[in-house]
A and B are shown apart, each in its own frame.
Chain A
Amino acid sequence: MTLRYGGWGHLLPWAAALAFYFFGSDLLSLGTNALIMVLFALSLDLVLGYAGIITMGHAAFFGFGAYVAGVFSIHFSNDPIAGLLLATAAAAVLGLITGALILHTRGVTLMMLTIAIGALVLEVANHLRAITGGDDGLQGIRIAPLLGLFRFDLWGHTAYLYTLAVLFVWFLLAWRIMRSPFGRSLDGIRQNVRRMRAIGTPVWWRLVAVYSLGAAMAGTAGALSAQTTRSVGLTALELLTSGTVLMVLILGGTRRLYGSFAGAVVYVVVQDLAAQADPFRWMFVIGALLMAVVLFLENGLMGLVDLGAARIRALSGSRREQR
């Protein structure tokens, strides 16, 4: 586990996110999308990066969380926190059940099963038109002021800070958990299942636990998406969404937690710029970028950060020697 930057390095992404709030106010909704994508990719990092569960069905949990939060706000209560917690718990349960069913398999079999479950959830949402709105998506989501104090304004100030705060809480949890004995056992399971069995690790249970944890986190991301955009569509559940979050994670770098930040921000920005330039062929730019990163950088964009950090350390080290 290599996350041993100087203490100040950890402040950088959060300081940048706060600075964006003050200086990027025209683009706050774009920023909110990026933060949601960070959280979504972070959830995949736990499952795929650390535990090595190859999944192409992670959108199921994102979309499920989004629908639960949306339906909850329409039919029950429009309190954002209650909706967020409920969506998180619901996604965790879905992760627990589906994970328990499929995690005795590995590799391509497992990947196929994750795709199958993703397809099932999508079809269920498509058929339950009365609840989900089917093809038309879920309309009419209303969200009450946060904590009864802060209205979700048209410019997205509240939405941005709300998303950032939720991301920060999940990030701290993920950071703590991935350095715990539990997190280290996941790292071990990814590297060598036989070794972990030989020291008595209940491998299946651990995998189900992290799958459910990642599902919960993805469900939170989906709920944030539903609440801040006030709509949910079937695209949230599509295979392409699972592929996108995987692309974002690989782009940023796995098993670093911060990789999700780098990947999501670059993805959202490039997508926005390229889509403005050419609405039909922006995927080409993303594809080329991903290829370049995968071919030339060892661990995504975080690999680039490593190179930069090493360079700075070498420079400051040599300066110190000269004195």
Chain B
Amino acid sequence: MSSDDAVLSVRGLFKSFGALTVAQDINLDLPGGARISLIGPNGAGKTTFVNLLTGMLVPDAGHVRLDGIPIDQLLPEQRVRRGLVRTHQINTLLMETSVRENVAIAVAERERIGWRMLRYGPRWRACLDEAQALLAALGLGGDGLRLVRELPYGKQRLLEIAIALALKPRVLLLDEPAAGVPAGEARAIHDQLEDLPAGVAILMIEHDMDLVFRFAREIVVMVQGRILTRGSPSEIANDDRVREVYLGRRAR
């Protein structure tokens, strides 16, 4: 595991809540353009791992580097500003704000004009235009002026992705992007996931195996806070230990 070309590198990450260890010596490298799926049974610590990367949780030990620079001391919002961006398993949107503005304020923060109080006219209009263009690319072009709460759930999931993309991330952590979406609407999300910008390193937590095998070039399997194994989709598909974890001991 060389970390020379890794955009994000994780070394020796530990975290426990009392007696419950949720992250145990996790080591992982994400090179530029990575398409890695993180899978594992419920409670394996996948979302916890994402929270440790983004700074929402503080690890007991271990280091996270972004572009070779340690980010352990940075606040979550500072990590975002460096390009480490996530989506949420449960929609985290401004429900009483328009779809377009949800994206535009992200663009404004990326452009560092979130502080502007008085002189902002043209810059803000540019943010709105960029937001609208991004929404159009994700098939939400007609929904820009609607309030988020009026949007069907599947489109809200897409909006989560749109907001993350508006930040032009170096690393994108997708936490179950298609969770809770009815099959009919899920296809739109799957299609968009395949069209994500090629240079962005992406780590996706997902339970839907069809989606995982379509999306991932590498799969990491997590069980009880540790990485059980990792490999190409075909390697993982044929790995007995993975089958055991997913299908239970009787399958042996």
Contact = CB atoms under 8 A, between A and B. Distances in A.
Contact of B117 (A183, A187, A196, A201): A183
B185 interface: no
B173 to A, nearest CB: 10
B80 A182 contact: no
Contacts of B86: 198
Interface string B60-95: 000000000000000011101100011010001111
Given A176-B118, A177-B118, 10 more contacts: A176-B117, A180-B117, A184-B108, A185-B114, A187-B94, A188-B105, A191-B97, A192-B95, A198-B76, A199-B80
Contacts of B80: 197-200
B77 A182 contact: no
Nearest to B163: A199
A182 B114 contact: yes
B11 interface: no
Contacts of B235: none
B114 A181 contact: yes
B109 A182 contact: no
A18 B121 CA distance: 31
A203 interface: yes
A6 interface: no
B167 A199 contact: yes
Contact of A180 (B77, B95, B116): B116
A201 B75 CA distance: 11
22 contacts: A177-B117, A180-B120, A181-B108, A181-B116, A181-B120, A182-B117, A184-B108, A185-B105, A187-B97, A192-B95, A195-B94, A197-B76, A198-B85, A198-B86, A199-B80, A199-B105, A199-B110, A199-B167, A200-B77, A200-B80, A200-B110, A203-B77
A296 to B, nearest CB: 22
Contacts of B110: 199-200
A201 B109 CA distance: 7
B76 to A, nearest CB: 5
Binding site secondary structure of chain A: helix
Interface of A: 173, 176-177, 180-185, 187-188, 191-192, 194-203, 206, 209
A199 B54 CA distance: 12
Given A181-B113, A199-B80, A191 B120 contact: no
B36 interface: no
A196 B105 CA distance: 9
Most chain A beta-carbon neighbours within 10 Å: one of B85, B115, B167: B115
B96 interface: yes
A180 B114 CA distance: 8
B29 interface: no
A73 to B, nearest CB: 30
B106 to A, nearest CB: 4
A187 B106 CA distance: 13
B127 interface: yes
A195 B77 contact: no
B2 to A, nearest CB: 30
Nearest to A209: B115
A198 B116 contact: no
Contact of B77 (A183, A188, A191, A197): A197
Contacts of B96: 191
A265 to B, nearest CB: 28
Contacts of A206: 114
Given A191-B95, A194-B92, A199 B117 contact: no
A181 B94 contact: no
Contacts of B109: 185, 199-201
B105 A181 contact: yes
A250 B164 CA distance: 36
A188 B94 contact: yes
CB-based closest 4 A-B pairs = A200-B80, A199-B106, A181-B108, A200-B81
A251 to B, nearest CB: 22
Contact of A192 (B85, B94, B117, B123): B94
Contacts of A187: 94, 97
Contact of A194 (B85, B88, B166): B88
A176 B81 CA distance: 26
A74 B170 CA distance: 60
Contacts of B206: none
A173 B105 CA distance: 21
A182 B96 CA distance: 17
B102 to A, nearest CB: 8
Interface string B123-138: 1100100000000000
B101 interface: yes
Contact of B88 (A185, A198, A202, A203): A198
B231 to A, nearest CB: 31
A200 B169 CA distance: 11
A177 B116 CA distance: 8
Contacts of A200: 77-78, 80-81, 109-110, 167
Nearest to B108: A181
Contacts of B78: 200
A188 B102 CA distance: 9
